[in-house]
Amino acid sequence: MDASLVDPRDSGPLAGPAARSRPTSIVLRMSKPEAPTATTATTGTTATTGTTRIIPARTAVGFDARRGQVLRIVDVEGGQVCDLVAFRLDDLTEWISNGRSFDSGSKILFTAGDVLYSNKSAPMLRIVRDDVGHHDFLLTACSPEMFRVQYGVTGHHPNCLQNLTAALADKGVCEHLMPTPFNVFQNSTVESDGRIVTKPPLSKVGDAVELLVEMDVSIGLSACSASLCNGGHTKAIGYELR
């Protein structure tokens, strides 16, 4: 989820060298990502601030949510993307689907009142509150391949694909099953020439999105590991389930 002025994810029909950029009309050279750590895929801690659980920067968490609960995602530091994936509880053949959501909603931008559908066209999550009004549902989770191809990283770099896989491993999720996330707070737009341009998130400290759970699901959330779609550096993200 990271590039300097051009910030693509690593796969999908809309990915590619011009998939992401800062707000500018020119393309500059690729910059280095944040320094990689020696760790492998990580999951978040259970640290809390009041009722808000904190996902440290460049990590992920997984948990189950029941129909009727409300998931609240909070930008606790401002300008940070949160990748959200979901699977029907105990059924890995049904997952959150951007394509089915586009079909059913006749749109690619989702905000309060909109429904995120599964690959079987069943409502999964309904957005009931949105302080920001702009999120991304086009671009895949950042991966080792993205960091290698786009930045020349040869060693490990924290990434959302592996973090989400680790967070949901006890559910049987593996990398090739990971759907395109709903990228909360990500500020990507489709330009008139077809390019996907990514700018710093519009979210400020304390901004939140709330989603009503429409079916029993297993959810993965990651504090995005790519710096430049997060305004230059990665930060923590908060969430509540009630």
pLDDT digits (tens, 9 = 90+) for 207-223: 999 999 999 999 999 99
- Burial class of 23 by CB neighbour count within 10 A (0 to 12, 13 to 18, 19+): exposed
In a domain, 12, yes or no: no
In a domain, 25, yes or no: no
Q: Residue 8 has what pLDDT?
A: 35
Q: What is the DSSP string of 147-212?
A: HHHHH---S----HHHHHHHHTGGGT--GGGPPPPEEET-EEEE-TTS-EEEE-----TT-EEEEE
- Residues with Cβ within 8 Å of 28's Cβ and at least 6 positions away in sequence, in order, are 4, 5
Per residue in 6-63, pLDDT (tens digit) is 333 333 333 333 333 333 322 323 344 555 443 344 555 444 545 899 999 999 999 9
Per residue in 135-189, pLDDT (tens digit) is 999 999 999 898 888 778 888 889 999 999 999 999 999 999 999 999 999 999 9
In a domain, 18, yes or no: no
Element (H, E) at 70: strand 70-74
In a domain, 36, yes or no: no
Per residue in 91-140, pLDDT (tens digit) is 999 999 999 999 999 999 999 999 999 999 999 999 999 999 999 999 99
- Domain tally, the chain: 1
The pTM is what? 0.82
Q: Residue 50 has what pLDDT?
A: 53
User: What domain range is 145 assigned to?
Assistant: 48-187+200-241
In a domain, 26, yes or no: no
